[in-house]
Amino acid sequence: MNHERSRGLYDRALSVMPGGVNSSVRATMPHPFFIERGDGGHVIDADGNRYVDWVMGYGPLLYGHDLPDPVEAAVQSHVAEGPMYGAPTEVEVEHAEFVARHVPSVE
């Protein structure tokens, strides 16, 4: 796999961010790959390499990237009320209840 562009972005980042990243989770060796875009359940890095996105934004991207129109409309209706609060919400509980009802293996 080619990672030349990611390496170049990392070198630039080192000059303006401690360790070249804004979170220790992103501090992979020998350098992180820099994401350019998402596509469904995948991400594509700055060098055009495609990866399964196992992280999905650490939760918020449960439905993946590049959402279908009905999902996009539902997201937009909630974003209008405020996209993220950093505190628990009723919608969060409702979503967890929905997942627990429909995925028998969820504890």
pLDDT score at 29: 85
Contact 21, 9 (CB under 8 A): no
Contact 20, 10 (CB under 8 A): yes
pLDDT tens profile 21-45 = 887 777 788 888 899 999 989 999 9
Neighbours of 34 (CB within 10 A): 19
Region 1-56: CATH code: 3.90.1150.10
pLDDT score at 17: 87
pLDDT score at 6: 93
Residue whose tokens read 């992979």 = 28
How far apart CA 34 and CA 105 sit, in angstroms, is 34
Q: In this structure, what token pair is assigned to residue 81?
A: 């009320």
How far apart CA 75 and CA 52 sit, in angstroms, is 23
pTM of the model: 0.64
pLDDT score at 72: 86
How far apart CA 27 and CA 81 sit, in angstroms, is 34
pLDDT score at 4: 93
Enumerate the domain spans of the chain: 1-56, 67-107
pLDDT at 10 exceeding the cut of 90 = yes
pLDDT band at 77 (very low <50, low <70, confident <90, very high): confident
pLDDT tens profile 57-70 = 777 787 888 888 99
